[in-house]
Amino acid sequence: MEITETTEVTKALVRRPSPRLAEGLVTHIERSEIDLDLAQRQWQDYVDALHSQGWETIEVEPAPDCPDSVFVEDAVVVYGRTAVITRPGADARKPETVGAEKAVAALGYDVKRIEAPGTLDGGDVLKFGGTVWVGLGGRTNEEGVRQLREHLAAEGAETIGVPLTKVLHLKSAVTALPDGTVVGYEPLVDDPSVWDSFLAVPEESGAHVVLLGGDRILMAADAPRSAELFRSRGYTVTTVDISEYEKLEGCVTCLSVRLRGCPS
């Protein structure tokens, strides 16, 4: 879709992949070999796709010693003027928050933190229409949800914990279309009845959409039938190949943090 001059420019945080990417964690799938060169090209294509859709990207300082740091969404949850620095459930990922905090503080966000014994990964946090659903699975615990609820209540959000047993993060299972319909690949969704409006998609990565503004969405290239389903509902779909990140249980959602209403 052509971007007109009147399209709102929105910002997104991204973080370039670590040279140690291949050492990233895998939990629910078998480890397979990562092609680092290809991963770097795919990351650049992802960033280029955001630019082509009118987004400005801001790079969080690289964390070369953190293999999973490219999955920047897990380190910070942004809601309105509040940025909640997470406390990732996997110890290897805890140092990633340092750079994320610098980035959001520099942008003028009101910075809050998840403190021990709370744990929370940003990939577990699905926000839509004033409600925040948080997956309670391997990475996020009840105390993490309680602290997030407290931080986001000040922004008027209602935060709800939901069960998560089949995939790494809540947003590995479900995301929301621009009209609020929650999309998920049913074999991997614990309880679709949590959402009033749920649409089953035919492919696992069809469950992952990034909202680009208006009727535009970004999704992975390996879910063509889901893309067709979204097009038939009137959405304009951009696709990116993120195969190397999927080998580490990453999705399109976790490679950026979209900053609508950024303070600066």
Ligand X SMILES: NC(=O)NCCC[C@H](N)C(=O)O
Catalytic residue among 169, 208, 251, 262, which?
169
- In the complex, the smallest distance separating the C-beta of residue 264 from ligand X, rounded to whole angstroms, is 25
DSSP 24-65: ---SSS------HHHHHHHHHHHHHHHHHTTEEEEEPPP-TT
- In the complex, the smallest distance separating the C-beta of residue 160 from ligand X, rounded to whole angstroms, is 19
Residue 73 vs 101, nearer CB to ligand X: 73
Binding site residues, ligand X, CB under 6 A: 24-25, 27, 68, 71, 73-74, 90, 93, 123, 168-169, 171-172, 248-251, 254
Burial (0-12, 13-18, 19+ Cβ within 10 Å), 225: exposed
Short-list 141, 232, 135, CA closest to 175: 135
First-last CA distance in the chain: 27
- Secondary structure of 59-127 in HEC code, one letter for each residue: ECCCCCCCCCCCCHHHHEEEECCEEEECECCCHHHHHHHHHHHHHHHHCCCEEEECCCCCCECHHHEEE
Residue 164 vs 262, nearer CB to ligand X: 164
Could you tell me if 253 and 14 are in contact, meaning their C-beta atoms sit under 8 angstroms apart?
no
User: Active site includes 262?
Assistant: no
Nearest position to ligand X, beta carbon: 123
Residue 137 vs 250, nearer CB to ligand X: 250
User: Active site includes 254?
Assistant: yes
DSSP 3-state helix, strand, coil percentages of the chain (rounded to 5)? 35, 25, 40
- In the complex, the smallest distance separating the C-beta of residue 111 from ligand X, rounded to whole angstroms, is 20
Could you tell me if 66 and 92 are in contact, meaning their C-beta atoms sit under 8 angstroms apart?
yes
Catalytic residue among 66, 251, 254, 262, which?
254
Could you tell me if 210 and 217 are in contact, meaning their C-beta atoms sit under 8 angstroms apart?
yes
Catalytic positions, written as ranges:
169, 254
